Structure 1
Amino acid sequence: MTGAPDAQLAGQLVDSYAKLAGRDLVPDGVQGLEAARWLHEAPFALLVHDTSPDPLFIYANATAQKVFGYGADEFIGLPSRLSAGEQDRDARARFMASVLRDGYADGYRGPRVRKDGWQFWIEDATIWNVLDAGAAIVGQAALLRRWKSASTV
């Protein structure tokens, strides 16, 4: 998938976020393919990985691609653990396991790394489990509102 998420994934993201975080992810009345397009061009970074044993990114919006320095084709299929530096992966894995257990987390802050090795901090992030229509977990999503250079921390 190189463009906007399909309508099914967009619906799962929107519905799961509303259920678990209690807020709207897209503007009122935006749904289906329109929601998919809106999410792809959103002013925040949005990433989604699957539920495989070593989760793989299945979606990254245009902002996430810019922040992390990967093109869509490079992002899709990339192990999500690689979004953190090697020294930060265990802490990231523990945090993601807590989200899996609790459903979502708000206000997350943590170190991340771009494709080129540049380290930065994500701040004010919401991470949540992506649910299908039967409430089965099909992935996890991250909405990143702010990021800054590691040197300014």
Structure 2
Amino acid sequence: MINDNIQPWQQNKIVRHSQILMSSFECWTGGTLVNCPGSPEEVAQTLFEAEFALVSHGIEADPIFNYGNRKALQLWELDWEDFTSMASRQSAEEIVQEERDRLLAETAAKGFSHFSGVRISSSSKRFYIEDGTIWNLLDEENKYFGQAAIYSNYKFLD
């Protein structure tokens, strides 16, 4: 069990995951998520507290979110434990699942993609994401590790 006083970004596995988020984004897009020349722990904190939403899921048959920064947790109205136990498909309404699946497959093949689309919070608030980027995650051994998405342009629809 995690100490209630410990933030997600303070966990060793999240510090490592933050490095994977950063290096994979740079690998596929040539860009950087944040300009933070500090320690891996400082990078993890900067990503977690960023003004954009950042999420990722793993490689399970039905992928589970394994990361959501503070902005994403606020958008989905969930705490860390609930968010990181949720299947990522649950972030989208049933009606848009086919488009979401197409986007994930395209990203798996190309490395990264841009997207827009409607997602739904835990309390059924719908929001439209514009100009998001989704990319494949590669671990330290260059093995497929999941996918991540970042976006800062969104608006609530309800």
SS of the residue 1:78 aligns to: coil
> What corresponds to 1:34 in structure 2?
42
- CA positional deviation for 1:30: 3.3
> What corresponds to 1:47 in structure 2?
55
Tell me the number of residue pairs that the alignment of Structure 1 and Structure 2 aligns: 150
How far apart in 2 are the matches of 1:85 and 1:30?
Answer: 39
Q: What are the ranges of 5 or more consecutive residues in structure 2 without an aligned counterpart?
A: none
Q: What does residue range 70-89 of structure 1 map to in structure 2 within 5 Å? A: 70-89=78-97
SS of the residue 1:130 aligns to: strand
Identity percentage of aligned residues: 31
TM (normalized to structure 1)? 0.92
Contact 2:103/2:113 (CA < 8 Å) preserved in 1? no
> What corresponds to 1:135 in structure 2?
142
Q: Which amino acid aligns with 1:3?
A: P
How far apart in 2 are the matches of 1:31 and 1:79?
Answer: 31
Contact 1:11/1:31 (CA < 8 Å) preserved in 2? no
- CA positional deviation for 1:115: 0.5
SS of the residue 1:89 aligns to: helix
Aligned Cα root-mean-square deviation (Å):
1.5
- CA positional deviation for 1:31: 4.1
SS of the residue 2:140 aligns to: coil
Q: Which amino acid aligns with 1:95?
A: L
- CA positional deviation for 1:64: 0.1
SS of the residue 1:7 aligns to: helix
Q: What are the ranges of 5 or more consecutive residues in structure 1 without an aligned counterpart?
A: none
Q: Which amino acid aligns with 1:70?
A: L
Contact 1:13/1:130 (CA < 8 Å) preserved in 2? yes
How far apart in 2 are the matches of 1:29 and 1:149?
Answer: 34
How far apart in 2 are the matches of 1:59 and 1:83?
Answer: 13
